[in-house]
Amino acid sequence: MEKVKIVQERLKIAQIRQKSYTYVRRKDLEFEVDDWVYLKVSPMKDVKRFGKKGILSPQYIDPYHISKRVSNVAYELEAPSESAAVHPVFHISMLKKCMDNPSLIVRIENIGIKDNLSYEEMPVRILDHHVRKLRTK
Protein backbone atom coordinates (compact mmCIF):
# COMPACT_ATOMS: atom_id res chain seq x y z
CA MET A 1 0.00 0.00 0.00
CA GLU A 2 2.88 2.35 0.70
CA LYS A 3 4.26 1.91 -2.80
CA VAL A 4 0.82 2.59 -4.31
CA LYS A 5 0.55 5.84 -2.32
CA ILE A 6 4.01 6.91 -3.44
CA VAL A 7 3.09 6.27 -7.09
CA GLN A 8 -0.20 8.17 -6.69
CA GLU A 9 1.60 11.17 -5.17
CA ARG A 10 4.16 11.25 -7.99
CA LEU A 11 1.40 11.00 -10.60
CA LYS A 12 -0.42 13.88 -8.96
CA ILE A 13 2.75 16.01 -8.97
CA ALA A 14 3.30 15.24 -12.67
CA GLN A 15 -0.32 16.13 -13.48
CA ILE A 16 -0.04 19.46 -11.67
CA ARG A 17 3.18 20.26 -13.55
CA GLN A 18 1.64 19.45 -16.93
CA LYS A 19 -1.48 21.45 -16.06
CA SER A 20 0.61 24.53 -15.32
CA TYR A 21 2.36 24.22 -18.71
CA THR A 22 -1.00 23.96 -20.46
CA TYR A 23 -2.48 27.02 -18.78
CA VAL A 24 0.53 29.16 -19.75
CA ARG A 25 -0.06 28.47 -23.47
CA ARG A 26 -3.85 28.66 -23.39
CA LYS A 27 -5.60 31.89 -24.22
CA ASP A 28 -9.30 32.50 -23.87
CA LEU A 29 -10.79 33.94 -27.04
CA GLU A 30 -13.91 36.01 -26.92
CA PHE A 31 -15.37 38.31 -29.54
CA GLU A 32 -18.02 40.98 -29.28
CA VAL A 33 -20.95 41.59 -31.62
CA ASP A 34 -19.94 44.11 -34.34
CA ASP A 35 -16.28 42.95 -34.28
CA TRP A 36 -14.48 42.07 -37.50
CA VAL A 37 -12.82 38.66 -37.78
CA TYR A 38 -10.97 36.64 -40.41
CA LEU A 39 -12.36 33.21 -41.33
CA LYS A 40 -10.05 30.21 -41.47
CA VAL A 41 -10.28 28.52 -44.87
CA SER A 42 -9.36 24.99 -43.83
CA PRO A 43 -8.63 23.67 -40.34
CA MET A 44 -6.82 20.55 -41.64
CA LYS A 45 -3.12 20.25 -42.40
CA ASP A 46 -1.81 19.19 -45.81
CA VAL A 47 -5.00 20.22 -47.61
CA LYS A 48 -4.79 22.00 -50.95
CA ARG A 49 -6.29 25.46 -50.54
CA PHE A 50 -6.78 27.68 -53.56
CA GLY A 51 -4.27 25.75 -55.66
CA LYS A 52 -1.37 25.80 -53.21
CA LYS A 53 -0.35 23.28 -50.57
CA GLY A 54 1.62 24.01 -47.43
CA ILE A 55 2.84 27.36 -46.20
CA LEU A 56 2.00 29.22 -49.42
CA SER A 57 -1.71 28.54 -49.16
CA PRO A 58 -3.83 31.28 -47.59
CA GLN A 59 -5.04 30.46 -44.11
CA TYR A 60 -7.60 33.21 -43.59
CA ILE A 61 -9.92 35.02 -45.99
CA ASP A 62 -11.96 38.24 -45.91
CA PRO A 63 -12.74 40.11 -42.73
CA TYR A 64 -16.33 39.32 -41.73
CA HIS A 65 -18.66 41.15 -39.40
CA ILE A 66 -19.99 39.25 -36.36
CA SER A 67 -23.75 39.62 -36.34
CA LYS A 68 -24.74 37.40 -33.41
CA ARG A 69 -23.22 35.33 -30.62
CA VAL A 70 -24.86 31.90 -30.72
CA SER A 71 -23.07 30.38 -27.70
CA ASN A 72 -19.79 30.71 -25.81
CA VAL A 73 -17.85 29.10 -28.66
CA ALA A 74 -20.04 29.79 -31.73
CA TYR A 75 -20.58 33.03 -33.64
CA GLU A 76 -22.76 33.93 -36.61
CA LEU A 77 -21.07 35.96 -39.33
CA GLU A 78 -22.58 38.24 -41.96
CA ALA A 79 -21.43 36.37 -45.05
CA PRO A 80 -21.69 37.85 -48.55
CA SER A 81 -24.13 36.41 -51.09
CA GLU A 82 -21.34 34.51 -52.95
CA SER A 83 -20.85 32.15 -50.02
CA ALA A 84 -24.54 31.46 -49.40
CA ALA A 85 -23.91 27.70 -49.67
CA VAL A 86 -21.85 27.81 -46.44
CA HIS A 87 -23.59 27.89 -43.05
CA PRO A 88 -22.98 31.29 -41.35
CA VAL A 89 -22.26 29.91 -37.83
CA PHE A 90 -18.61 29.12 -37.05
CA HIS A 91 -16.65 27.78 -34.08
CA ILE A 92 -14.35 30.19 -32.29
CA SER A 93 -11.28 28.18 -33.37
CA MET A 94 -11.99 29.09 -37.01
CA LEU A 95 -11.96 32.84 -36.31
CA LYS A 96 -9.12 35.30 -35.86
CA LYS A 97 -9.39 38.89 -34.71
CA CYS A 98 -9.14 41.33 -37.61
CA MET A 99 -5.88 43.26 -37.77
CA ASP A 100 -5.08 46.39 -39.78
CA ASN A 101 -2.92 44.58 -42.34
CA PRO A 102 -5.09 43.67 -45.38
CA SER A 103 -2.20 41.93 -47.17
CA LEU A 104 -2.71 38.86 -44.97
CA ILE A 105 -6.04 37.99 -46.56
CA VAL A 106 -7.29 36.75 -49.91
CA ARG A 107 -10.39 38.48 -51.20
CA ILE A 108 -13.14 36.00 -52.07
CA GLU A 109 -14.24 38.10 -55.08
CA ASN A 110 -10.82 37.58 -56.70
CA ILE A 111 -11.12 33.81 -56.50
CA GLY A 112 -14.45 33.46 -58.31
CA ILE A 113 -16.00 30.44 -56.60
CA LYS A 114 -18.77 28.82 -58.66
CA ASP A 115 -22.03 27.29 -57.39
CA ASN A 116 -20.51 23.80 -57.14
CA LEU A 117 -17.70 25.25 -54.94
CA SER A 118 -15.06 24.91 -57.68
CA TYR A 119 -12.90 27.64 -59.18
CA GLU A 120 -10.73 28.21 -62.22
CA GLU A 121 -7.04 28.90 -61.71
CA MET A 122 -5.42 31.47 -63.98
CA PRO A 123 -1.73 32.43 -63.63
CA VAL A 124 -1.21 36.17 -63.42
CA ARG A 125 2.51 36.43 -64.20
CA ILE A 126 5.88 34.74 -63.64
CA LEU A 127 7.69 36.56 -60.87
CA ASP A 128 11.21 35.20 -61.29
CA HIS A 129 13.23 33.01 -63.62
CA HIS A 130 16.81 31.75 -63.41
CA VAL A 131 18.93 28.89 -64.76
CA ARG A 132 20.70 26.70 -62.26
CA LYS A 133 24.36 25.94 -62.88
CA LEU A 134 25.85 22.79 -61.44
CA ARG A 135 29.28 22.88 -59.78
CA THR A 136 30.80 20.16 -61.92
CA LYS A 137 29.76 21.54 -65.31
In sequence order, what DSSP letters do the residues of 48-98 get, joined into one string? -BTTB-STTS--EEEEEEEEEE-SSSEEEEE--GGGTTS-SEEEGGGEEE-
- Stated length of the chain: 137
> Which residue has better confidence, 45 or 87?
87
- Nearest 10 degrees: Cα torsion 80, 84, 87, 90: -20
Q: Which helix (H) or strand (E) holds 38?
A: strand 36-40
pTM for this model (two decimals): 0.51
Burial class (CB in 10 A: 0-12, 13-18, 19+), 92: middle
Question: Is 60 exceeded by the pLDDT of residue 41?
Answer: yes
The pLDDT confidence band at residue 109, using thresholds 50, 70 and 90, is: low
> Which residue has better confidence, 124 or 104?
124
Mean of the per-residue pLDDT values of the chain = 77
Question: Is 60 exceeded by the pLDDT of residue 17?
Answer: yes
Mean pLDDT of the 95-113 span = 65
pLDDT for 45:
58
